[in-house]
Structures are given as structure tokens and as C-alpha cells.
Amino acid sequence: MNIAAPISNLDKCSLINSNGGHILYMFNELDLYVENAVSFILKGISEKAVILLIVPDNIHTMINEKVTARGFNSTQLQEIIRYCPEEFYLNDFKLNATVSSKRLVETIAPFLEKGKAVRTWGEVPITNQDNILEMLRLYECNCDGFIVENRVLSVCAYPALTTPAYIQNELLKTHTHLMTDDDVGKSPLYNRENHKFPTLEEFTRLQRIKEQNQALLAVNFQLANENAIVKAKNEIIQQSELKLRTIINELPIPIIIRSKCKLLYVNEMAKVQLDNTDHLTSFFKEYDEHLMESHSSKVKEHQFILTNGKKKYFLVKSIHILFESKCAVMHSFVDITEEKENETLVIRSEKMNIAGELAASVAHELRNPLTAIKGFFHVLKNSGEEKDFYYNIIDDELNRIELISGELLTLAKPHSENRKDYNLVQLIEEVKLLLTSESNMKSIEIILKVDQEEIYLSCENTKIKQVFINLIKNSIDAMDDGGNIVITVGVIQETIEVQVIDQGCGIPEELLDKVGEPFYTTKEKGTGIGMMVCYQIIENHGGSIEVDSKVDVGTTFTIRLPRLM
């Protein structure tokens, strides 16, 4: 874009160059204003014209920098006559049209008498005085006649954004041309007849316009103050909201603000811990239904199932708020999953203690008579009478009672700590070898998959082997139609994860929580003590057991133990 186009058009106009011109420049952009002023000055220097420049100090500095950058020296710049607008136009901070127009004539008249061309560029200040319109009009009328008669090229610059429209309208009547930042043309209202002093009616009209303008200025000032107050209040509200959002976002608990089922705000912790939108929607509906029934927003306990299948428990506190001018509900969630797990462990521990005490008493009561019965039984058996069938049945049942008694005593024994470092893969290999013949009899293949051949942990090897013997034997018992038992061993960071996956009959979902409880079993001749012992051994080794099962599909036991680093 050629930002000097208006001045270039002036210079190309032969009529203006020959007759001079009184140009009204209503500018908007400071950069374009300076560029136009520079072009005006450079053209004057090239024509060896006298240049009168009446601009503020900052504008003068910018003009000098641009003129110097275009190759003109300081000597040429010194030939420019320069004044500050306040110094040239004002007396006691007010515009006096007669004095100002006289000063302009006295400044350039000597050069005109010598036959020199003259260019002037000035900014007339619009002061806050009651008669500013009359003063501007009178000043421009006085100057216009002199400028046109002496063929002076004069630019009078006014800021378009801050000069009232009624003043611009009057100025158009006293200037031959109108120029903007990027265009120039003849003034549509210019007429020498306009230079006559106004009649009483005209003066009254102008006075009324001035009063209206002053009233509008007062209203505008009041509105500006009110707008500033509203803006300040809005900024305070925005800052408060930003602080509140920051605080909520940094809270170590999930926070959700919603309207019906639409999420309005979710803090970072909620994004991390509550990743299932469907379950949130279900919770919202359940909450709303409960609220309608009880008219209460007490703390509630709620269970979420995450996308990875894990269960999380939360205490939920809900309050009704206004959020972004909308009625909304804010839910805060406190994760109590760990407390729930600890509570489960405590209950299980208490059950195991009770079972241990019961086991000790029952085992001791059973063992003594069993020993005597077995002794007499073998005496009768060796007597040679043909009662083998009955003896075999009695022998099997006595062995079963003895097995139960042994398991009860195992459960009741105090825990000894005799741990060493063992390769878990090797321990499972030994268990697999031990049970291979039993599994082959039922057409079951035991498959072991490992990430690495050596994975060490600190443990009591016999007890860890007992766990896997129990789990694999349970899987064999559950698979009547053959199939595969897959054992996977892997490492996840500092944890060893072992899965025993079978293709058995499965366990109903409602009974999964009972697995590991004393005397609970799905087997016809089981006691439930074996699984209880497994849980006890793994927990004593700082690990955990999880079970997942589907009826007619199979069961997966997941054991996690701390890895030896």
C-alpha cells in the first residue's frame, strides 16, 4: 500500500500547485500521518520552498528520523521553520483566532514578499473552552483568504477520532480540500460565502449545537465512568472465578460441576480418576432420583467401575450452586477404595483368626480318636476276613478326615519366617512337573509362559509352592472335559504378576467375593480351607490375589508379589 498517496495526489494536481490550497487533513493512523507529513516536507525541500511545521515534539522527532533516513542532511532540516502547537496557537492555554491568524501571516509574509514558495503544515489544538467552535471557524476563515490569495499550500491536521462531528462539518466549509490517511479530494462544503460571520440565527443554532454537544459530553463522561465501574467489577469477578477455578483444579480430590447430565466443569483429578462417562451419567440420574425421594444432599457412598474393570469407591458430597449464571450441582468425590480394601483385609483377617482358633480345637479333637480308630482298623484289616470293600470305604473316609485335620492344623499354626531368595519361575516349574501326571489323566495340558527365565523374590519356597499347587489342583478339578491351564509369569515395574487361567466351569459373579473365605468352596468334597491358606500365604508375603471368572468360560487367578530388586 502506498501510504503517501494523498500527498502524491496533491503534488500531481496542477491547479493546487498553481493556486495553492487550504487542505483539511482528518487523520486516523499516526504512522500514515507521519509518512504523509514527510512526503509533504520532502517535496517542499526539492522545490526549495519555505516550510513552516507546527507539530508536537514527538511528531517532530519521528519526522526528522524519517527525513534523515532518506538522505537529507541536518543543514537542509534547519531551514524548516518549526513551532510547537501550544506555542504558536495558544495564549493562556486558549485559542485566540485573531492572534493566531496574525502570527501565521507575520511568519510567512516576508518569504512571500521575496517571491518564495511557501508550504505550511500545522495541528491546531482543540481546547476545552466554551467558544472553541467560533475560534476555530474564525481562525480558519482568516487564514483561508490569505492562503488562497498568496497561493500557499497549507495543510491543517486534526485527529478524526477525537474531533466532534459538528466541528468537522464546520471545518469543511473553510477548507478547499479534504484529505484522509489514504485519499484527497475537494471539500464538498467549501464556499467563500461561508466565511462571512454568522447571523444571529446561525449563531443561536451553533450555540445550541455546542450546548447539545456539552450535554452529550457530560452523558458520555457519566457513561464512561459507569462503564469503567462495571468493567472493574467484571474484572474482579473474573479474577475471583479464576482463583476459584485454580483452587478447585488443584484440589487432590475429583470435582465435577454439571447441569442435569451435561458436564460444565471437570477438574484434573476427576479426569484422571473418573474416566467412564457412562457410569457418571448413571450416577447423576441415581443422585437426582434419590434427591427427589429424600430431599436431602447428604454424603453418599458410590461405587464406580473404571474402563480397566477395576472398582473404585467414593464418598460423594453434593451441593447446589450457580455456575456461569446457571443452576448446577457440584459433586466432590473422596476416594475410599484403599479404606474399603483395608476393611476387607481386616474382616478377612478376623475370619481367619476365628477359623484358626476353630481349626486348632477341631483338629485336636479329631486327631486323637482318629489315631485310635485307624489303629484298630488296621488290626481288623489284617485279621484276614473278607471285608475289603467296607474297609476301603472306611479307609478313604478316615484319610479324608485326616486331610481336613491336617489343613486345619496348617491354618492354625503360627507363621514362621524362614525366607530366602528363590527363582519363582523355577518354583512354578517344579509344581507343574509335580501335577503333570494328574493333569494328563484328565487330558489337561499345563502351559507355562514367562517373560524371562529368572525372576527372584524373597519367600518361603514351600508355602509359595503350596499356593500354586492349590490353585492348579482347583483348576484341574474344575475341568471335566480337558483343555489347557495357562500360567503366565511377568514383571510390571517392581511387581511380579502371575496368572493361572483355566477353562473350567467358572464361578458365578455373585459368589466371587466369597472366594478365600473360610469353609466356602464350590467343590463337592472341598472345605474352602485351601483357598483361605493361599490368601493368607500371599498376603503374608506382601502380595495380593484377585479372581475373575465367567460361568462355562473359565477362571483367572492373578497373584501379585513384590519383586526382589
Domain ranges of the chain: 5-197, 255-335, 339-412, 420-562
Q: In what order do the strands lie in the sheet with 118-123?
A: 81-83, 50-54, 118-123, 153-159, 21-27, 177-179, 184-186
Q: Do domains 5-197 and 255-335 have the same CATH topology?
A: no
Across the chain, mean pLDDT equals: 81
What is the torsion angle, in degrees rounded to the nearest 10, for the CA atoms of residue 363, residue 369, residue 371 and residue 374?
-120
pLDDT: which is higher, 240 or 162: 162
Compute the average pLDDT of residues 286-299. Answer: 65
- What counts of helices (H) and strands (E) characterise the chain? 17, 21
Give residue 529's identity as a one-letter amino acid code: I
| Candidate from 128-137, 198-207, 512-521 with smallest mean pLDDT | 198-207
| Candidate from 137-141, 150-154, 558-562 with smallest mean pLDDT | 137-141
| Candidate from 59-73, 380-394, 525-539 with smallest mean pLDDT | 380-394
Evaluate if residue 16 carries a pLDDT over 60.
no
**pLDDT above 70: percentage of residues in the chain:** 76
Q: Is the CATH code 3.30.450 the one for domain 255-335?
A: yes
Among 11-15, 77-81, 84-88, the range with the most confident prediction by mean pLDDT is 84-88
For 183-237, the three-class secondary structure string (H helix, E strand, C coil) is CEEECCCCCHHHHCCCCHHHHHHHHHHHHHHHHHHHHHHHHHHHHHHHHHHHHHH
The domain 339-412 is classified under which CATH number: 2.20.28, 3.40.50, 1.10.287, 3.30.360?
A: 1.10.287
With H, G, I as helix, E, B as strand and everything else as coil, classify residue 287. helix
pLDDT: which is higher, 146 or 501: 501
Which pLDDT belongs to residue 356? 63
What are the tens digits of pLDDT across the range 455-476? Answer: 999 998 888 998 999 899 989 9
Task: Please count the other Cβ atoms lying within 10 Å of the Cβ belonging to residue 407.
Answer: 18
| Per-residue burial over 99-134, b = 16 or more CB atoms within 10 Å of its CB, e = otherwise | ebbeebeebbeebbeeeebbbbbbbbbbeeeebbbb
Which pLDDT belongs to residue 8? 58
Which pLDDT belongs to residue 229? 92
Cell of 325: 449464571
Cell of 227: 462503564
The domain 5-197 is classified under which CATH number: 3.40.50.300, 3.30.1950.10, 3.60.21.10, 3.40.640.10?
A: 3.40.50.300
Residue at grid coordinates 511568519: 107
Which pLDDT belongs to residue 138? 85
What are the tens digits of pLDDT across the range 311-369? Answer: 788 888 888 888 877 888 888 888 888 887 777 776 666 666 666 656 665 665 566 56
Fold of the domain spanning 420-562: Heat Shock Protein 90 (3.30.565)
Evaluate if residue 519 carries a pLDDT over 90.
no
Instruction: Return the axis-axis angle of helices 337-381 and 529-540, rounded to nearest 10°.
Output: 130
Ordered DSSP codes for 458-485: EE-HHHHHHHHHHHHHHHHHH-TT-EEE
Q: How confident is the model at residue 140 (pLDDT cuts 50, 70, 90)?
A: confident
Which pLDDT belongs to residue 14? 47
Residue at grid coordinates 480308630: 373
